[in-house]
Chain A
Amino acid sequence: MDRRKFIAAGLAGSAIGCGRSRSPWRFFTVEEARTVEAVCAQIIPEDQDPGGRQAGVAVFIDRQLTRFYKPLQKTYRQGIADIDRESLRLAGHPFAELDAAAQLDVLRRFEGNPDLKPFFDMLVAHAMQGFYGDPRHGGNRERASWKMLGVASPPVRGRA
């Protein structure tokens, strides 16, 4: 990209940013991100070690949805809406506003529903990638999971 195109792209990007919900996310709306972060905090809970939320698992998913997982954008938009809809139906509030026990209950029911399970399974797989995978992709912040497992992180030579 040359300099002129770079500036133009930046202007276009900020124009969209101002016009819409000012989401700091690449793909998610602020509301969607809130739901995804809450789900990831249940998939990998925080305890003496950081959980999915602290490790930035939602950042990983958000970033990949503009890259390798781009074909899954629609599936995610629908799936996140389904989680909040089920949450409202079962517990009267959007998912992120429930307490931990109610969230677990919603997720277990969600997982038990054959129509919704495929999305949930995929979300679990992506959360594991974001938590245990390489920090360069946006997750595993501060190498949280590698520290938890006691795996050293030597430097990468060459084009990291």
Chain B
Amino acid sequence: MKRVNAVVVGAGAGGGIVAKELAQAGLSVVLLERGKWYTAFDCRKDDLRNQRTSALGNAFGPDDERNPRVAVDLKGRARLVRASGPGYSNNAACVGGGTLSYGAMAWRYMEKDFRMRSTYGQVPGSTLADWPISYDDLEPYYEKAEWEMGVSGDDSGNPFRGPRRKPLPMPPLAPNREFEILEPAARRLGLHPFHIPMLRNSVPYGGRGPCMRCRWCVGFACEVNAKNGTQNTVIPAAMLTGNCELRTGCMTRQILTDARGRVTGVEYFDAHDRLRRVDADIVVVSSAAVESARLLLNSTSPLFPRGLGNRYDWVGRNLQGHSYTGAFGIMPEAIYDDLGPGASIAVSDYNHGNAGLAGGAMLANEFIRLPYQFVGMLPPDVPKWGQAHKDFMRSYYRRAIAVQGPTQEMPMFEARVEVDPAVRDFWGIPVARLSGDKHPHTMEIGNVMAAKAEAWLKEAGAVRTWKRLAGPGLTAGQHQAGTCRMGDDPKTSVVNRYCQVHDIDNLFVIDGSVHVTNGGFNPVLTIMANAYRASDYLVKGWNGTRYR
């Protein structure tokens, strides 16, 4: 098989961008993706089988039968979990990764989100640390992501955001009913509400049309292709250069190394389950926090007996996601307007500066609810079945608003990905084993955020409210991050500030794994910006035949 300059493992938010940047710079690239390439026609509007509600399975992978994991609960009991079931911490496996079916909130982290340790000091039991880079380092790349991928919204009313040189390229969608109710209420409370930035066309952009405001949004592939993921932006652009070959249905088994400790390519199973190899000058791992760590840990050799980048046992550590908390409110009258995406208004007032708390969360109204989703959101005192349950659904489905937010988690060394010593997947590759807990302070912050959400709903006129709190246990899921921490010190991190594995020059990890902390926001725009930034470095260091 021919040799290429770069092989990128995973065609999600990070990998898609890296492939495009390298291909446009003239490098030959093979982009490996274990899932399929779906299109707008795969929307399907199936409320029981999508990436948000997987009662009847995941719409966009991974497949239940072939991809088990082991989850260890808080009592130390290990159990086998399937991809569409609880405890798996799933992210989609397809071209575009999570960006095919995400809700598409496009947040920049705040300046303090990169300096959590300096801002709040040591938090006992947490590996809270500063990023080796600052908001200013990332700002030009946030802008590039916003303009290349396409972001709509208006955060000019948010005084807490970091400075930006250019506004967002598209205006926000017209306000929905929830926005109109929550906006004045937030102002009365002295908050600073604004239009959520979204990777979604509000006007024609990038050769595709605008959002048609349907209710099949988060969890679904957009029927009119108005949601901007890597599958309909940078990956086609990468392929148009003629330098990038996308191979779908390809499950990577391990990264290969030579006797000098450099990587030489990867071994993978192709769509027909045949073992293949691709030799490359550089390898970029972009498989999301769980699978990236798993791949590094599974790539053992005499020089790297504990896996790649794992000399100091940091690969797989600090697994984090977002613990969502908030509140529901019943309004005096029906407010359901059937306008997607639903989520429209946010405040950033509570991300930092909460007395006694090391952080906080952005709060926003929730995405539009499909009827079945509301079943799981009823107040705790409403019976789970019977006449009272049906009455509640009928009376309040059209009167409910939810406000919630992703608490910035306190990273934990013991929240981790390992490879299971016994369980193997369909291809015989040891599976990921997830264990650990939430930091108690994460729960504490989440509880305060829920109270803030409830107060906002009450101010908006809710006649009845109830909180949604988070229980203990790992949260990784679609916002998974942290397992290949970025840092200047090789003893306490896996990659350097350019996402290059500390002791292997030609191996990179470019996805949410490198996040030191995960912000009180949806992480995807930061993954994208950092992918542009790391690619920039990679291209600059490329001398025509090899890296450095």
Q: A-side interface residues toward B, CB under 8 Å?
A: 42-45, 47, 49, 51, 64, 67-68, 104, 121, 124-125, 127-129, 132-134, 136-137, 145-146, 148-152, 154, 156-160
Contact assessment for A104 and B375 in the assembled complex, using a CB-CB cutoff below 8 Å = no
User: Which residue on B lies nearest to A39, using beta carbons?
Assistant: B385
Q: Would you call B488 an interface residue if the criterion is a C-beta within 8 Å of the partner chain's C-beta atoms?
A: no
Chain A residues near B384 (CB-CB < 8 A): 121, 124
- Kindly list 17 other residue pairs between chains A and B, CB separation below 8 angstroms, not including A51-B390, A157-B223: A44-B390, A64-B56, A68-B56, A124-B384, A129-B372, A134-B46, A137-B48, A146-B371, A148-B393, A150-B397, A151-B336, A152-B338, A156-B45, A158-B42, A158-B43, A159-B42, A160-B44
User: Which residue on A lies nearest to B57, using beta carbons?
Assistant: A68
| Complex Cα gap A146–B223 (Å) | 21
Contact assessment for B56 and A137 in the assembled complex, using a CB-CB cutoff below 8 Å = yes
| Complex Cα gap A158–B57 (Å) | 20
Contact assessment for B385 and A159 in the assembled complex, using a CB-CB cutoff below 8 Å = no
Contact assessment for A149 and B45 in the assembled complex, using a CB-CB cutoff below 8 Å = no
User: Which residue on A lies nearest to B338, using beta carbons?
Assistant: A152
Chain A residues near B44 (CB-CB < 8 A): 156, 158-160
Given contacts A68-B57, A158-B43, contact A132 B387 (CB under 8 A): no
| Complex Cα gap A134–B386 (Å) | 21
Chain B residues near A154 (CB-CB < 8 A): 214
Chain A residues near B40 (CB-CB < 8 A): 158
Contact assessment for A127 and B46 in the assembled complex, using a CB-CB cutoff below 8 Å = no
Chain A residues near B42 (CB-CB < 8 A): 158-159
Contact assessment for A45 and B390 in the assembled complex, using a CB-CB cutoff below 8 Å = yes
* Cβ < 8 Å to A, chain B residues 201-227: 214, 223
| Complex Cα gap A159–B386 (Å) | 35
**Pairs A-B, 8 closest by C-beta atoms:** A158-B41, A132-B372, A43-B385, A132-B371, A133-B48, A149-B397, A68-B56, A128-B375
Total contacts A-B at CB 8 Å: 86
Chain B residues near A151 (CB-CB < 8 A): 336, 338, 371, 397
Chain A residues near B223 (CB-CB < 8 A): 157-158
Contact assessment for A128 and B387 in the assembled complex, using a CB-CB cutoff below 8 Å = no
Q: B-side interface residues toward A, CB under 8 Å?
A: 40-48, 55-57, 214, 223, 334, 336, 338, 371-372, 374-375, 384-387, 389-390, 393-394, 397-398
| Complex Cα gap A25–B394 (Å) | 30
Given contacts A47-B390, A129-B55, A149-B393, contact A124 B372 (CB under 8 A): no
Chain B residues near A68 (CB-CB < 8 A): 56-57
Chain B residues near A146 (CB-CB < 8 A): 371
Chain A residues near B386 (CB-CB < 8 A): 42-43, 45, 104
User: Which residue on A lies nearest to B43, using beta carbons?
Assistant: A158
User: Which residue on B lies nearest to A45, using beta carbons?
Assistant: B387
| Complex Cα gap A47–B390 (Å) | 10
Contact assessment for B385 and A44 in the assembled complex, using a CB-CB cutoff below 8 Å = yes
Contact assessment for B394 and A49 in the assembled complex, using a CB-CB cutoff below 8 Å = yes
Chain B residues near A43 (CB-CB < 8 A): 385-386
Chain A residues near B398 (CB-CB < 8 A): 149-150
Minimum CB–CB distance from B128 to chain A (whole Å) comes to 38
Given contacts A157-B223, A158-B44, A160-B44, contact A47 B387 (CB under 8 A): yes
| Complex Cα gap A67–B46 (Å) | 16
Chain B residues near A148 (CB-CB < 8 A): 393-394
Instruction: Find B48's partner among A51, A121, A129, A160 (CB 8 Å cutoff).
Output: A129
User: Which residue on A lies nearest to B390, using beta carbons?
Assistant: A44
User: Which residue on B lies nearest to A150, using beta carbons?
Assistant: B398
User: Which residue on B lies nearest to A134, using beta carbons?
Assistant: B47
User: Which residue on B lies nearest to A145, using beta carbons?
Assistant: B371
| Complex Cα gap A124–B336 (Å) | 26
Instruction: Find B372's partner among A45, A64, A121, A128 (CB 8 Å cutoff).
Output: A128
Chain B residues near A158 (CB-CB < 8 A): 40-44, 223
User: Which residue on B lies nearest to A51, using beta carbons?
Assistant: B390
Instruction: Find A133's partner among B43, B47, B214 (CB 8 Å cutoff).
Output: B47
Contact assessment for A133 and B55 in the assembled complex, using a CB-CB cutoff below 8 Å = yes
Chain B residues near A51 (CB-CB < 8 A): 390
User: Which residue on A lies nearest to B375, using beta carbons?
Assistant: A128
| Complex Cα gap A132–B41 (Å) | 24
Q: Would you list 17 pairs from A and B whose C-beta atoms are within 8 A, ordered by A residue?
A: A45-B390, A47-B387, A49-B390, A49-B394, A68-B56, A68-B57, A124-B385, A128-B375, A129-B372, A132-B371, A136-B46, A137-B56, A145-B371, A148-B393, A150-B397, A154-B214, A158-B43
Minimum CB–CB distance from B46 to chain A (whole Å) comes to 6
User: Which residue on A lies nearest to B384, using beta carbons?
Assistant: A124
User: Which residue on A lies nearest to B56, using beta carbons?
Assistant: A68
Chain A residues near B389 (CB-CB < 8 A): 44
User: Which residue on A lies nearest to B39, using beta carbons?
Assistant: A158
